[in-house]
Structure 1
Amino acid sequence: MTNRPRLCFIVTNAITATTFLPGYLRFLYEDGWDVVLLCSDGPGLDNLSGVDGISVHILPMKREPAPVRDFISLVRMYSFFRRLRPDVIVYATPKASLLASIAGRLARVPRRVYELWGLRMETVNGLPCKVFGLLEWLTARLSSIVIANSASLATRCMDLGVNGGHRVVTLGHGSSHGVDSEYFSREATMPLLDPETSTAIEEGAAPVVGFVGRLHPDKGLDTFLEALQICNEQGVVFQALVVGEEEGAGTAKAINQLRERIPVILTGHVDDPRPYLRAMSMLVLVSRREGFPNVVLEAAALEVPAIVSDATGCVDAVEHDITGAIVPVSDPEALAAAIALALRNPEWKNFGSAARKRVVRDFAQETVWGLHSAAFSGSILGSD
C-alpha cells in the first residue's frame, strides 16, 4: 500500500507518451504522486514502463472517429478507473481527453484535469467544425479544470464558447512540458547531420531557412513553399531545409516539385532534430493552429530565432523583433518579406541569443512541471 495520491495520465498514442512524457512522469513521481500512464500500445513503451515509479497500462484508442471502437475503449477505460481508483486523472490529445472525461465522470474520479494542447475545430468548416466544437465543449464540461498550454489558446477556447462553463487557465508562461535547455544547447553532444543533408548544405553555401514538423496542411506548408518561391523570384539567396514525415497530404510531392526550381533539402523523419535545427539560420512555422509549438522553443534553446504566424499558439512562441518575427497567418507575401528582411538583418543572430535567454528564464522543464503538479493537486487553482 502507498499513501501517495494516485495520478493517471492519459494520451491517445504511444508516440506522444514516449516523446513528451518520460521526464514529466518521473518528475510527478518524485513530487509525491503514484503515477500511472494509460495509452495505446506502441514502440518505446517498454522502456518507459521500466522507469521507477511509473506504471504503464495499454488501452487501445483510435485517433480518428471510430464509434464502435471508441465505445469499447470507453467501457474499458471506465472499468480501469473503477479498479484503479485514481485521485486525479490528467488527459491530453483529443480522443483520449474525450473518453477520459466521460469515463472519469462516470467513475466518479475526484479531480479530472483537461490539458488542452490545441483545437482541431480551428482548421475545419461546416458540420465537422460543429461536431468538433460539441465534443470539445463536452470534454471541458466533464472536467474539473481546463489548462491550456498557451494564453492565446485559452482565449480562443473561451471566445469559441467550447470551454464547458469553465475559466480556461494557462500556467506560468505556457507550454505543456517546457524545454530541457541543456539537451537543446549548441554545446550539447549530438549526432552529426546525415551525410546527404550535410553535403547539400555545404554545397549550397547559403543561409538555411528551415521547417521541422509534420508535413501536414495545418502547419501552413503551402504558405511556406509559396513564400520560398517569392524569395527566389526576388533574388534572395537561401537554401531551405524541411525536416518531417509525410502525413498523406501530398506535401512531400509538392516539395520535390519545388526542388526543381529552388534549393530545398527534404530529410523525412529524423530521430533527433537538434543537429538539423542547429544548422538553420531561422526556423519558420506558419501554422494555421497550434497549442504551443514545442519546436519553436527547442530551436530557441539552440539560439535559432523563428518566424511564426499569428495563429493561435504560434503567437505565444515568439516575441516580435526580440526573439524572432510574427507574420499574418496564410500570407506568403508577408512571410517572404520577413524571411528576406531577416536574412539581411545583422541583428538577427542577436535574436537567437535573446530566444535562448527567454527559454531558460520562462520555460525550464522543472518549473513548468512543478506548476502543473501543483495544479493537479489543487494548490494553485483550488479544489472542485
Structure 2
Amino acid sequence: MKIIRTSTISISLNVLLKGQLKFLNGFFDVVGISSGDELLDEVRQREGIKTISINIERGISPAKDLVSLFRLYHILKSEKPTIVHSITPKAGLLTMLAGKMAGVPIRLHTFTGLIFPTKKGFMQKVLISMDRLLCSAATNIYPEGQGVKKDLIKYKITSKPLKVIANGNVNGIDLDYFSPDKISGEQKNDLKIELNISQSDFVFVFVGRLVGDKGINELVEAFSQISKNAYLSKPVKLLLIGPLEEHLDPLQPETLEEIKSNPDILDLGFQKDVRPYFAISDALVFPSYREGFPNVVMQAGAMGLPSIVSDINGCNEIIVEKQNGMIIPVKNNQKLKNAMETLLSDVDLYHQLKVNSRPMIESRYEQSVIWNELLHEYKKLLKEKNIDV
C-alpha cells in the first residue's frame, strides 16, 4: 500500500514531518516528493523512504506550474499510490489536481496556514480561487487547527467536511527531544559566554524566517525602545534565530539597520538545533501576521518558555492568555512593547507562565498521539473505500 506525501520545498518534509514519515513507513510504502536539494536527501536517509525531486515554484508561475503539474501526473501514474497527502499551498494545488487526473482514489490536503486572509483585492481573489480549486480536486480536507478551520468556513473555500487531527498541528512535539534537561548547565554557560550574555540579562528569542509578515519590523522597534530605556531594572537581549530572506517580503531598511547597530540584538542566522538558544532564553516573542499552527511556539513551550504571540490562528490555540503566555493584537508595536515590559517587571506573573509552559504542551501536543491519530485516519479512509491495508 503506497502513500505519497508532498510539499512545495524540502524543508517542509524535513522539519514539519520529521519522524512522522518513518513512523508511517512502518505501515505503508511511503514516498516523499518536493523540490530537491540536500535536505530532501536528508529526508530520504533519516526517514528511510524513497524521495523524488520535482521543481515546484513557491510563487504563482503559470508556465512553470503547468510543467510541474504534468510532471506530478506522470509520477503518480507511475508510482500508483492509494493515497496522496499534501501540505503547503502550491504543492497542495498541484498534487490534488495531478492526483485527480491520475485517478488516485484518496487525495488529502492539510492546510497548515492560509495566505489569503492577510491579502486584499485582486490577489486575495486569486488565492481564494486557487484554494477552492485545490479543495474541489481533493477527497478530504484537514485544517491544521481550529482557527484555520474557521477561516476556511468563513471564506467559503469548500463545502466538504473539515476535520482537525487530534488537537491540531501536523506533527506534534517530540517531548523527549525538546526538553530543558537535554541542555546541560555547562552548555548554557558556554553559549552565554560565546554570545556575551550575562547571567542578569533577560533574553527574548525569536525563531523563524526574518521577514515582514513574521512581525520582525514590530519586534525590532519594540525591543529597541525597551533596550534603550535606562529606567529598566534589568538588561535585555534579543536573539534572532532564522534566515534573512531579502527577496520575499523583505524587512524595512530601518529594521535592518537597527539589527545591525543595536548591540543587544544578536542576529544568529539559521540554526539546525534551536534547543540551546531556547535554553538560554527567558521568553519567546512571536508576533507573526499569519500562521497555521506554529511549531516554534510549541517547541518553546516544551523547553519551558512562556511566549508572547499575536492573536492569530494556531498561536491563540497553543497559548492561553496569562496561563502560559500573552496574546497581543497583530501589527501593534505598543501592545507588543507593553507585553514584553510586563514579563520584565511582573516577576510573579512570569514565574506562573513559566511553570505552566511545558505541562500545557505535554497535555495537548505529544507527538505519538498525533501520529497514531493520523494513522487511524488513513486506515479509516481505506476501509471506507473497501481497500484492505
Counterparts of 2:84 and 2:160 in 1: how far apart (Å)?
Answer: 17
- Select the residue among 135, 141, 144 that pairs with 2:139: 144
Is the contact between residue 209 and residue 283 of structure 1 (CA under 8 Å) also seen in structure 2?
yes
- Select the residue among 99, 107, 110 that pairs with 2:102: 107
- Select the residue among 88, 91, 99 that pairs with 1:93: 88
* Matched length: 378
- Select the residue among 351, 368, 371 that pairs with 1:369: 371
Aligned to 1:263: 264
SS at match of 1:100: helix
Counterparts of 2:280 and 2:261 in 1: how far apart (Å)?
Answer: 22
- Write the letter of the residue equivalent to 1:33: F
Per-residue CA distance 1:144-163 (angstroms, 9 max, x = gap): 1111111111111211222x
Report the alpha carbon displacement of residue 85 of structure 1 after superposing the two structures with TM.
1.5
Report the alpha carbon displacement of residue 353 of structure 1 after superposing the two structures with TM.
2.9
Aligned to 1:360: 362
SS at match of 1:38: strand
Per-residue CA distance 1:10-54 (angstroms, 9 max, x = gap): 111112222232410011122x21111111111133343235752
Unaligned runs of 5+ in 2: none
Aligned to 1:378: 380
Identical counterparts, % of pairs: 26
Greater Cα shift, 19-28 or 107-116: 19-28
Q: Is 2:180 the partner of 1:212?
A: no
| Residues 356 and 130 (structure 1), Cα distance of their counterparts in 2 relative to 1, 3 Å cut | same
Aligned to 2:169: 175
| Residues 194 and 213 (structure 1), Cα distance of their counterparts in 2 relative to 1, 3 Å cut | farther
SS at match of 2:141: strand
| Residues 196 and 370 (structure 1), Cα distance of their counterparts in 2 relative to 1, 3 Å cut | closer
| Residues 99 and 126 (structure 1), Cα distance of their counterparts in 2 relative to 1, 3 Å cut | same
SS at match of 1:202: coil
- Select the residue among 120, 128, 132 that pairs with 2:123: 128
- Write the letter of the residue equivalent to 2:170: S
Unaligned runs of 5+ in 1: none
RMSD: 2.5
Report the alpha carbon displacement of residue 128 of structure 1 after superposing the two structures with TM.
1.3
Per-residue CA distance 1:215-262 (angstroms, 9 max, x = gap): 011111122122223434653342211111111113586244256456
Aligned to 2:291: 290
Q: Is 2:159 the partner of 1:165?
A: yes
- Write the letter of the residue equivalent to 2:178: F
Counterparts of 2:64 and 2:377 in 1: how far apart (Å)?
Answer: 32
Is the contact between residue 141 and residue 165 of structure 1 (CA under 8 Å) also seen in structure 2?
no
After TM superposition, the score normalised by the length of structure 1 is: 0.91
SS at match of 1:378: helix
Equivalent positions of 1:19-98 (< 5 A) are: 19-30=15-26, 32-50=27-45, 54-98=49-93
- Select the residue among 243, 252, 255 that pairs with 2:241: 243
Counterparts of 2:374 and 2:343 in 1: how far apart (Å)?
Answer: 36
| Residues 215 and 279 (structure 1), Cα distance of their counterparts in 2 relative to 1, 3 Å cut | same
Is the contact between residue 54 and residue 71 of structure 2 (CA under 8 Å) also seen in structure 1?
yes
Greater Cα shift, 203-212 or 75-84: 203-212
